[in-house]
Structure 1
Amino acid sequence: MTVELRSVVTCPHCGHQANELMPTDACQFFYECKGCGTRLKPLTGDCCVFCSYGSVPCPPIQAGSVDGRQAVGCCNSTLD
């Protein structure tokens, strides 16, 4: 299985899209929209902003190192 490292993040507030490189060794909890400046955080149940707002979920989710949608390999827990 090939893990994609790029994801298009879409801001739910303004619709701005940005092609971003995802970290492979940590979850990205916050992301500042390059369009409107809104600080995004993961939705409940997601481990990172890529799983919530990206076109591709984060590498640990893609690799299957998860328990449901909780990323075990990158952050050990989710944000509520």
Structure 2
Amino acid sequence: MINTVLESVLTCPHCGYAKREIMPRDACQFYYECNSCHALLRPNPGDCCVFCSFGSVKCPPIQENQSCCG
């Protein structure tokens, strides 16, 4: 049984601001606006969502070895 983590700390690559967020269990989050500098974050090439690119924990579908965003 996989223990899926639903919280991740997103860190803005522009200003370094970090905030704990709850990840959606069944969807990818393609955009995230930094609360500090208001930069619009998008996934890095090859990543499915902002949590996989800038989070402390990958998104739930990736944690569970499932297809993400399909």
TM-score normalised to structure 2 length: 0.95
- Identity across matched positions, percent: 59
Cα distance in 1, alignment partners of residues 27 and 61 from structure 2: 9
Q: Secondary structure at the match of 1:50?
A: helix
- Provide structure 2 residue ranges, at least 5 long, that are not aligned to the other structure: none
Equivalent position of 1:68 in the other structure: none
How far off its partner does 1:35 sit? 0.9
Q: Secondary structure at the match of 2:25?
A: coil
TM-score normalised to structure 1 length: 0.84
Equivalent position of 1:19 in the other structure: 20
Cα distance in 2, alignment partners of residues 43 and 2 from structure 1: 26
Cα distance in 2, alignment partners of residues 35 and 3 from structure 1: 28
> Number of matched residues?
69
Runs of 4+ in 1 over 2 A off after TM superposition: none
Structure with the greater relative contact order (CA < 8 A, sep ≥ 6): 1 or 2?
2
- Provide structure 1 residue ranges, at least 5 long, that are not aligned to the other structure: 66-71
Cα distance in 1, alignment partners of residues 18 and 6 from structure 2: 16
